[in-house]
Structure 1
Amino acid sequence: MKNALIATDCTGEIFKGNFDEAPFYSVYNRDNFLKRISNKNLSGIDLSQYILMGTKVSDKYREELVKSGVDSIVLDFKNLNSARAFYLDFLEKVEVFEKYSSEYEFWFEENKFVYLSEIEALKMVVPSEGKGLEVGVGSGRFAKPLGILYGVEPSDKMAQIARDRGIKVYKGLAEDLPFRDSEFDFVLLAVTICFVNDPERSLLEAKRVLKKGSKLIVAIVDKESELGKLYLERQSKSVFYKNARFFSSEEVIELFNKIGIRFLGAVQVLFEVNIKDLNYVQKPEPGYGRGAFVVLTGEKV
């Protein structure tokens, strides 16, 4: 299997070359770019416009890409068409948050007690110390009050809001995190797994960057809850959840087991369907099965 490097400009246009011609593809200055890549010399070339897909790179080279401001998606693909399909799906999901970032922010203000109840549930399991990472950090609405200083986010607009809140945000994907192995003391995915292209790979990446004995925390809107069922009914009309894939708590636990993460327990909150009427901060409860917002915690063994 060959690997492909696909570069795109800000319009998202992808080079449509013959996949078998070479293992690398680029929209800009293709020959010059390939020459510099082969020499591992990044000086003198603007990488800020590139999104890289489909080539395995060393940790050292990955660090250089991140330093240069590259938007890196380092995944394996069998052919150019599969890479293109992944990227176009990625673009469609990110476009929503680029276009409706203001509406996203307003939701938290309009649903203040829903948001604060979710924060209370997360506080019960998110460590107060250590180097933490939120994958899909969005605008930093969870990371900020939880004291998480590092985030990964594919949407430029959302990432900038998070940076304004003091979060150090790297642009990237859950499926291929721009960090070394065993770098973090805990990793949080708060209502993120429903938007990723590859949930299993995303959790494997979270596991990879976790230290041994550290926590992987996944928060979801449980599709088996009454509110989750309502969201599913209205999914086609929802701006943000239209392209989402909802999970049950059991399905997340199954993913934990599949990738070798030991399930530790869960916390739940939001026990009513009419959450817009909520006018107080709910007290979270252990377990899952009643609450719509469920925080599941596992450990890297």
Structure 2
Amino acid sequence: MELNEIVITKAIIDRFSQKFMEYTEVDVAIVGSGPAGLVAAWFLAKAGKKVAIFERKLSIGGGMWGGGMMFNEIVVQEEGKEILDLFGIKTREYEPGYYTADSVEAVTTICSHAVKAGARVFNCMSVEDVIIREGRVTGLVITWSPVEMAGLHVDPLSIFAEHIIDATGHDTEVLRVIERKADIVLNTETGSILGERSMWADKAERLTIENTKEICPGVFVTGMAANAAFGGPRMGPVFGGMLLSGKKVAELITSEEGSPFEVFESELLAEKYFITEPEDTVSIGIGSGLFDERLGIKYGVEPTEGMAALARKRGVNVKIGTAENVPYEDEKFGTVLLGTVLSYVKDRKKAVSEAYRILKHNGHVVVSFLAREGSYAMMYDLAYIRRSHDPETAPKDPYPIKFIEETNWCSTREVTDLLKDAGFVDLKYIQTLTRHPKYTNDEVEEPTEGYDRGDYIVVQGRKP
């Protein structure tokens, strides 16, 4: 048979087009084809998920190809060896607890298994933007990497994904697009990418797995991208944490556990119950403005310039100040929101007095807090004593220990007395997070009246 060049060309165009069309809507889009991304793809595809991997380079494998300084051998610990064993990748013990493997065999074998399980790899494609709907990242905007490298002005294309995984390593490419172009605060200490720290292999391996989580609605981080996002150190040419991180992110997506943002939505609904005129409301201790943007609040007070800057990006007019010294004149607002701030201020009585001062007559104060008598506060106090969370009782992505150190929980009785002593009347109570903390992520909870069952309480008081 004489080969025909046009038939060859048509075959490539036709078959690629079919494949690309089929994967414009997927269950999971993985950006980056390093070890964490490839392992995640295999586990997800085996679980029946429709998975697409987008890799900006021509080759897959990320940093694993080069081993250490282009010596194409990698090191894994015992737990990492178990992942390689799943793929039938040969390992050899070097010293007790240290195993080596050929990096080329590891990359090609894992990728082959992922593709045979149903995942599809689209190489030479870069993510230049994301699609956001109702505060959730729902898709990727992609272009050819050579187009991006050449700086050509060519419009990109889009794909839809139920879940997105940033597996781009040190560069955290998806998160940087979100940070640069979207009004979404990340689930980190500052609401932004913290950046990787200097090499510390043992600590980095542990933190890579710990930091593998949903970092904003619809987006997960895995591998080195997880450490770079949450400020963890790099680990060098040891890859056990990467492999285990890929497995964990797949488990998070396929498990029946809810998102940590279900708790956020439950708390938001409770606060929204009393915020009826957001344009005439000021939020004291506004932080990054995540709640307040969703509530429609346009004014805020925040002691730190960094957080104030994030809130301003969300369209809130923020003044620098504290709850005990609010930089607004008397009788300025119809509603004052003290959103969990009483758990962090030094002088609660002064903070409530300031809220009373800047309220108009017949205006309302709204105070939200995790109740000291509730199971959440007790669980966090126990974690602080132990210096770690109990995975059997803690919710998904609980407060970091360092945040708990700065917290002094309020009881419902204490807040009630503070409001009454300041002169507020007609107190009303709303509660949410009524399930055990372990299960509060399962679904968004509608608030109910009262304070006898919920861990998150919102109180409204009127200034006569």
- TM tier relative to shorter chain: 0.5 to 0.7
Q: Which consecutive residues of structure 1, in runs of 5 or more, have no partner in the other structure? A: 1-98
Distance between the aligned counterparts of 1:155 and 1:243, measured in 2? 15
Any residues of structure 2 matched to 1:267-286 within 5 Å, and which? 267-275=430-438, 278-286=441-449
Is 1:256 the counterpart of 2:405? The answer is no
Contact 2:375–2:437 (8 Å) recurs in 1: no
Please name the residue that 1:121 is paired with: 270
Aligned letter for 2:262?
F
- After superposition, the C-alpha distances for 1:127-166 in whole angstroms (9 at most, x for unaligned) are 2354110000000011111111000001222111111111
Contact 2:191–2:288 (8 Å) recurs in 1: no
Identity of aligned residues (%): 31
Aligned letter for 2:445?
Q
| Cα offset, 1:244, TM superposition | 1.3
Contact 1:130–1:186 (8 Å) recurs in 2: no
| Cα offset, 1:227, TM superposition | 1.5
| Cα offset, 1:234, TM superposition | 2.2
2:291 aligned to 127, 142, 159, which one?
142
- Which structure has more strand as a fraction of its residues? 2
Moved more, 126-135 or 283-292: 126-135
| Cα offset, 1:121, TM superposition | 0.7
Please name the residue that 1:132 is paired with: 281
Aligned partner of residue 216 in structure 1, secondary structure: strand
Distance between the aligned counterparts of 1:166 and 1:139, measured in 2? 11
| Cα offset, 1:263, TM superposition | 4.0
Please name the residue that 2:450 is paired with: 287
Alpha carbons of structure 1 residues 271 and 103: separation in structure 2 relative to 1, 3 Å: farther
Is 1:223 the counterpart of 2:378? The answer is no
Any residues of structure 2 matched to 1:77-96 within 5 Å, and which? none
1:213 aligned to 348, 362, 365, which one?
362
Moved over 6 A (4+): 103-108
| Cα offset, 1:174, TM superposition | 0.5
Contact 1:191–1:219 (8 Å) recurs in 2: yes
Alpha carbons of structure 1 residues 207 and 275: separation in structure 2 relative to 1, 3 Å: farther
Is 1:266 the counterpart of 2:429? The answer is yes
Is 1:172 the counterpart of 2:321? The answer is yes
Contact 1:108–1:115 (8 Å) recurs in 2: no
Alpha carbons of structure 1 residues 290 and 108: separation in structure 2 relative to 1, 3 Å: farther
Aligned letter for 1:171?
I
Please name the residue that 1:102 is paired with: 191
Distance between the aligned counterparts of 2:431 and 2:440, measured in 1? 19
- After superposition, the C-alpha distances for 1:161-208 in whole angstroms (9 at most, x for unaligned) are 111111111111110110110000100011111111100000100110
Contact 1:176–1:205 (8 Å) recurs in 2: yes
Alpha carbons of structure 1 residues 253 and 263: separation in structure 2 relative to 1, 3 Å: farther
Q: Which consecutive residues of structure 2, in runs of 5 or more, have no partner in the other structure? A: 1-187, 195-213, 218-258, 388-400
Is 1:241 the counterpart of 2:330? The answer is no
Distance between the aligned counterparts of 1:156 and 1:241, measured in 2? 22
Please name the residue that 2:338 is paired with: 189
| Cα offset, 1:280, TM superposition | 1.5
Please name the residue that 2:24 is paired with: none
Aligned partner of residue 342 in structure 2, secondary structure: coil
- After superposition, the C-alpha distances for 1:52-95 in whole angstroms (9 at most, x for unaligned) are xxxxxxxxxxxxxxxxxxxxxxxxxxxxxxxxxxxxxxxxxxxx
Distance between the aligned counterparts of 1:133 and 1:253, measured in 2? 21
Aligned partner of residue 241 in structure 1, secondary structure: helix
Which one has a bigger Cα radius of gyration?
A: 2
Higher relative contact order (CA 8 A, sep 6+): 1
| Cα offset, 1:276, TM superposition | 6.2
Tell me the C-alpha RMSD between the 2 structures: 2.2
Alpha carbons of structure 1 residues 239 and 220: separation in structure 2 relative to 1, 3 Å: same
Contact 2:278–2:295 (8 Å) recurs in 1: no
Please name the residue that 2:300 is paired with: 151
Alpha carbons of structure 1 residues 147 and 275: separation in structure 2 relative to 1, 3 Å: farther
Contact 1:130–1:185 (8 Å) recurs in 2: no
Aligned partner of residue 377 in structure 2, secondary structure: helix
Aligned partner of residue 102 in structure 1, secondary structure: coil
| Cα offset, 1:107, TM superposition | 6.9
